Amino acid sequence: MIRARGLAKQYGGVAVLRGLDLNVRAGERVAVLGLNGAGKTTLIRCLLGLTEFAGELDVAGHDVRTSGLAARRAIGYVPQRPPHFDGTLRDIVAFFCRLRGLDAAAVHAQLEELGLAVTEHGDKHVRTLSGGMLQKTLLGLALGAQVDVLLLDEPTANLDAPARREFLRALRSTAADRTVLLATHRLADVEAVADRLLVLHEGRIAFAGRMRELWDAVGADVTLWIQVPPDRRGDVERHVAAQYATTTVLRNGSAFGVKIERTRRVDLLGELRTSGVTVEDFWTEAPSLHDLMDQLLATRPAGPEDRAE
Amino acid sequence: MTGARAALFVRRELAAALHARWFIVYAALFLIAGVLLTAFGMGNTMVYGYRGFAKAFAGLVHLALFLVPLMALFPSAASIADERESGVLEYLLAQPVSFGEVYAGKWGGINVAMVLALTIGFGAAGAVAVLRGVPLALVTIAYGFVLLLALAFVAVGLLLSSLAASRARALTFGVVLWFLLIALGTLGLMVVSIRWGMPQRALMVWTFVNPIEAFRIGVMSVLDPDLSLLGPIGVGLVERLGSTGTAVLAALSLVVWSVVPGLIGLRLFRSRV
């Protein structure tokens, strides 16, 4: 559904994409993960034909360079920041329905499924809607257009946690049969939406595979937070220091944070129970994207891996 | 490019203009100032006949000369830069539309809005002038020149809007350009000519290159066929081109200004989204 060969883009002599090969099959949900400046947004701008590029790029069988209109007809787009439209929700929906030749009733039904009934919110100026509602409006417009491909450029980046969860839930439930390319720097978004993951770093694909394969590849440590009675903290510190000498022990109020291999979390909790320490509470914190990238780049074999089939 | 999609963008731009304050303010400003100037400015001149009302009507022309370029520059210079900043432009271009359709829609929509605003404003002033004895044909020709001046600065504004990185910069460029073109009008060039000896031929060429001067010369050559109101440059133009030739050349200059900057803007627009 999406095919790139040797996709490259420079801005002012600085290479942002460095010859990517990419294949996303119909119905696949792929996340493009990367730090700021990795090339995620540039990849999406290339797919939308908003910028010139080198190499080949097809969407739904249409060459983006020579058949841009046909390619964009197959694409629904949700940007990072919702555009500041001027008008009511009803006006905006009506305009985009006319522009794309859509059945307004179908789009209204789609918006209602996303919790945005036009009968209820239609007369509200779009600038009075929350960020989450705006993003869902754009998602509704894209889904109502019956597009084959959804391009989402960090759609949850400016949403608070509840709005983010709500948007991802809506995306999962309504876009099940679409091809999705989600650019993000949030691991949680990847785990919530994607079947497959591409990690972009400095315009190259640093990893392509499933999320679990990424964890396996990098052996990324997680932080296991443990809460124990105050009189047993010393025992826990000594145990961790003796058994997990290379890990880092963090403190946050009454809780200990132990950086540990993902697979060894259960071992540590078992050891503490055996030694008679009552664990009052525990939780796991995933590594940050920066940590993950550091570990990925450290474990990655020399030479670029720019094919993502 | 399909006409239907471009027409949709024209309607969108027109609706935005009618909804915006600038449209109402400009139309009202031009209407009030134009009517007052025409009604009271002509009060004591009718006894002098044709040349008398020409001088009085020249007041309206000079109002247009200062006001119309700004009226046209503000909405057009803001249009693309504003939507680029707000993310609307990128979202529009992510739809199955071409760059040309979006640009043509903006261009057409702002042009239609300007024509409406000026028809209301200049129309009322012109009606007062006709009622007070100015021939309808002269008012119509002057109205045509006012429209051409507006269309020329809409095209310039779109060029600046495509070029500038932000709305504020586009508007600043617009005001600076307007000021320079006003400052480098006939009066400024005569100062240059006297101080540094600029040849009269160069002054005449500049008169047609500067759209504000082209407008002034064009309208005045109709109102005052010997162009004596414009001093030696006016007289020189009439001697070389005749009053009709001067008017036609001025109109042609404005037509070129109404098209060429807009087309350059389109080229820049494609590369600066």
Q: Are B94 and A69 an interchain contact pair (Cβ–Cβ within 8 Å)?
A: no
Shared domain check, A157 and A261: no
Domain residue limits at A34: 2-216
- Do residues A91 and A210 both lie within one domain? yes
Does A281 map to a domain? yes
Query: Do B133 and B39 contact (CB within 8 A), yes or no?
Result: no
Q: Which residues of A touch B5 (CB under 8 A)?
A: 99
Q: Give contacts of A73 with chain B, Cβ < 8 Å.
A: 96
Nearest CA-CA distance, residue A255 and chain B, Å: 44
Position A293 in a domain: no
Domain-located, residue A248: yes
**B272 φ, ψ (degrees, to nearest 5):** -130, 35
The pLDDT tens digits along chain A (309 residues) read 899 999 999 988 889 999 999 999 998 999 998 888 889 999 999 999 999 999 999 999 999 999 999 999 999 999 988 898 888 999 999 999 999 988 888 889 888 888 888 888 888 998 888 888 888 888 888 888 888 999 999 888 878 787 788 888 888 877 778 899 999 888 888 888 888 989 898 888 888 888 878 777 776 677 888 888 888 888 888 888 887 766 667 777 778 888 887 778 888 888 888 888 888 889 888 777 777 777 777 766 544 445 555
Flag whether A301 is in a domain.
no
In chain A, residues 91-150 whose CB comes closer than 8 Å to chain B: 95-96, 98-100, 138
- A77/B96 CB distance under 8 A: no
The last residue of one of the domains, among A216, A239, A257, is: A216
* CATH number of the domain that residue A260 is part of: 3.30.70.980
Domain harbouring A117, CATH code: 3.40.50.300
Residues A134, A240 within the same domain: no
Classify residue A300: in a domain, yes or no: no
Task: State whether A152 and A247 are in the same domain.
Answer: no
pTM: 0.81
Close Cβ partners of B248 (under 8 Å, ≥ 6 residues apart): none
Q: Which residues from B are below 8 Å from A100, CB to CB?
A: 95-96
Is the same domain home to A256 and A118?
A: no
Domain stop point among A186, A216, A246: A216
Both A50 and A177 in one domain: the answer is yes
Of A72, A77, A95, the CB nearest to B12: A95
CB of A65 within 8 Å of any CB in chain B? no
Q: How many domains does chain A have?
A: 2
- Give the end of a domain, one of A216, A231, A265: A216
Instruction: Tell me, yes or no, whether A133 and A256 share the same domain.
Output: no
Residues A226 and A209 in one domain: no
In chain B, whose CA is at the least distance from the CA of A44?
A: B94
Q: Are residues A21 and A149 in the same domain?
A: yes
Q: Is A233 on the interface with B (CB under 8 A)?
A: no
Range of lowest pLDDT (A265-269, B104-108, B158-162): A265-269
Q: What would the 3-class secondary structure string for B133-158 be?
A: CCCHHHHHHHHHHHHHHHHHHHHHHH
Q: So what's the pLDDT on residue B242?
A: 83
Query: Which value does ipTM take for this structure?
Result: 0.80
A75 lies in the same domain as A61: yes
> What's the angle, vertex CA A277, arms to CA A274 and CA A283, rounded to 5?
100
Residues A133 and A84 in one domain: yes
Query: Domain-by-domain residue ranges, chain B?
Result: 3-271
The secondary element (H helix, E strand) that includes residue A226 is strand A221-227
Residues A34 and A59 in one domain: yes
Residue with tokens 């350059």: B264
Nearest chain B Cα distance for residue A47, angstroms: 9
Instruction: Tell me which chain A residue has its CA closest to the CA of residue B20.
Output: A86
Cβ of residue A82 closer than 8 Å to a chain B Cβ = yes
